[in-house]
Amino acid sequence: MATGTVRFWAAARAAAGKSEQAYDGATLGSVVDALGAEHGPELARILGHCSFLVDGARVGRDFQLSQGEVIEVLPPFAGG
């Protein structure tokens, strides 16, 4: 297990009700699942559409986390 920080952006921040929190998990997928369970169905739905960066690199759910890493939760953005 690793611990670190999750940073929520845009709609994920609104659904979580905070901009960041600590995590404890072995893989990105386990942390994402725990976040959805902790914060409820709205965040769980949003997480299904997000991209995830760990220390600036885009990764998938099976990514093995190391101690102290930062997970960025990036919902789809629109703009022009």
Domain of 26, in residue numbers: 2-74
Q: What integer pLDDT is reported at residue 75 of this predicted model?
A: 94
Is 34 within 8 Å of 53 (Cβ atoms)?
Answer: no
Q: How many domains does the chain have?
A: 1
Give the CATH number of the domain where residue 8 resides: 3.10.20.30
Contacts of 29 (CB under 8 A, 6+ apart): 61, 62, 63
Q: Which value, in Å, is the radius of gyration of the alpha carbons in the chain?
A: 12
pTM of the full structure:
0.94
Residue by residue, pLDDT tens for the chain (80 residues) are 999 999 999 999 999 999 999 999 999 999 999 999 999 999 999 999 999 999 999 999 999 999 999 999 999 876 55
18 falls within a domain:
yes
Q: What integer pLDDT is reported at residue 77 of this predicted model?
A: 78
d(CA 4, CA 45): 23
79 falls within a domain:
no
